[in-house]
Amino acid sequence: MSNVPFKDSVRAKFVGVSLLLLLIPLSGYVFVRELATYLRLGHEQVTVATAKLVAASLSDRPGLQLRRRPRPIVANEPTPEVSPASQADPERDRVIALFNASDASIAASLGARYLPDAAVERILNQGVARDARVWVIDANGNVRGLVGAIFAAPPQNAIESAVTGAVSWLLKSRTDAVTTDAVDSRDAVFSQSERALLGQPNVEWRTQRDDRFGVLSAAAPIWQGDNIVAAVVVEQSDTSQRALARRAAQSVIMVSVVIFLVSFGALIWLSFSLVRRISRLQKDADAAVDAQGRATGTIHETAGNDEIGALSKTLASMVERQAAYNQYLEKLASRLSHELRTPVAVVRSSLDNLRAASTVGEDHKYLDRADEGVMRLSKLISRMSEATQLEQMLQHADQTRFDLCRVVDGCVEGYRLAFAPQTISLDRPNHECMMTGVPDAIAQMLDKLIQNAVDFAAEDSAIRIQVTSTAGTLTLSVANTGPRLPADTSVLFDSMISIRRDSETGDHLGLGLHIARLIAVFHGGTISAANLPNDSGVVVEIVLPLVPQERIKSN
């Protein structure tokens, strides 16, 4: 997978864009909330209209006695006899009305203030709605009619209660509702009737303390002529309105959440699928070309005919062309050296024939110069094919276990003889430095490093060779005094690269450090060059894997 931090990755961008899908359930929530508001307003308008309609039906009816007038008592007149059958019993009528009342508990709590009028309640019974209660209260504060009842919402289990509570909380709107219990509700009705008796129609929302349902109460005056004789109060439960809003909210929010989850999941799956394909393509591209720019692998074409599939096909074709071109370049030096050897041999033989046939001393001087040029050209041809021959040799060489320190010891002894009077010092551990590889290749690598150090070392300076071992690696370094390296040291190990001045180039092709890197990489190591801390010279360091002593002994 890619090493890109998640916050900067394509997955993070897809997740961020996917969060915009939250607008779907949010829009559903806004819609349902507005719907609940409209239902509430409609419920309020219907209740107010019902109160006005009931008040109008009770107004100006001469047969209705909404106000008790005491019978005048004349002291001088004899009191007529009243038969027991014709004598009315108000308490008996009130008890009968209590049993016939729609809401007996409220009627019983009113006590002596409940003085029902049969004609009034007969009219009220004609239009009372379900979950509604209608009061008729006269100017003396007595209840002359009480019809209907308000029932609490049915009990719910824990899950239904939790869902209902959550939806109710989401749909909860800011109102002027008053929280009451049953007694407070009765007192609120009388308070509303008092305002209506003063000619002030009014509306009030009340919520029960358990918030399971609310009550909308509307009051209107009842007229007889120009006088207000009573007030009608209509109480309507919002249970059905809440249930309708709750069902709508549950449906809309559920559908919105399902759409959000499905869409979000699809986008996340798509993002991870794309990232997986891109990461695989990146991994193949990294492995297809090594640090030296050579095509060492292939890019697998990804499935699909989309842009990523087209990109993988293009990159695969590009790597194939790059590999073919690299192969051509790698064989070019060998082909050139092979093709140039015959002309050089012809020139050399011709020079030999001219030298044998010529008797003039001046001619021999020019022939010697030409001979030197041919020899130099022969060396260049040999070095051109050296890297290719080395790679072929390494591919077929048998790797053995050997002591790096012993190989370095033998090489240093030869260097001291070959490059005398150049001083060459060696610092190495006293124990064995075992590793697995090709000893001759390691010696050839050290030859290139020493030759490079001798070419750049200042006069009367020492070349320092050091071998150090750590827990898992061996480090071979060659340091010399001399000019500083350029800022970009990585190009020094490329083929045909030399930082010598033109006057010092001679027959050098810039292949020494390139060959050293080939050998180091073959042995699983790394090579680097850096300036010394005091800028007095240069150090080339090679880090090679160390073979543990335990592994040697066990074998």
pLDDT digits (tens, 9 = 90+) for 27-72: 877 887 888 788 888 888 988 998 999 899 888 776 555 654 444 4
Mean pLDDT, range 306-333, rounded to an integer: 82
| pLDDT tens digit sequence for 388-414 | 677 777 777 888 899 999 999 999 999
pTM higher than 0.75? no
User: In the structure encoding, which two tokens stand for residue 333, read together?
Assistant: 């030096």
- Cβ pair 465, 423 in contact under 8 A: no
Tell me the β-bridge partners of 373.
none
Strands of 461-525, DSSP E: 462-469, 473-481
pLDDT given at position 385: 67
Q: Containing H/E element for 107?
A: helix 104-110
| pLDDT tens digit sequence for 496-535 | 555 555 444 445 556 778 888 888 888 888 888 888 888 7
Task: Give 339 or 148, the one with higher predicted confidence.
Answer: 148
Phi, psi (degrees; rounded to nearest 5) at 300: -80, 130
pLDDT given at position 66: 61
Second CATH level (architecture) for the domain 398-554: 2-Layer Sandwich (3.30)
For 373-397, b where at least 16 C-beta lie within 10 A, e where not — what string? ebeebbebbebbbbbbebeeebeee
Task: Tell me how far CA of residue 93 lies from CA of 62, 97, 116, 117, in angstroms.
Answer: 22, 6, 8, 10
User: In the structure encoding, which two tokens stand for residue 463, read together?
Assistant: 């070349």
What CATH number has the domain spanning 307-384? 1.10.287
The DSSP secondary structure of 416-471, one letter per residue, reads: HHHTTTSEEEEE--SS--EEEE-HHHHHHHHHHHHHHHHHHPPTT-EEEEEEEE-S
Phi, psi (degrees; rounded to nearest 5) at 109: -70, -15
Residue 101 has pLDDT above 60, yes or no: no
pLDDT given at position 505: 45
Domain with CATH 3.30.565.10 in the chain: 398-554
Binned at pLDDT 50, 70 and 90, residue 136 comes out as: very high
What CATH number has the domain spanning 18-63+88-249? 3.30.450.20
Domain with CATH 3.30.450.20 in the chain: 18-63+88-249
Report the distance separating Cα 463 and Cα 454, nearest Å. Answer: 8
Domain with CATH 1.10.287 in the chain: 307-384
User: In the structure encoding, which two tokens stand for residue 180, read together?
Assistant: 């009451």
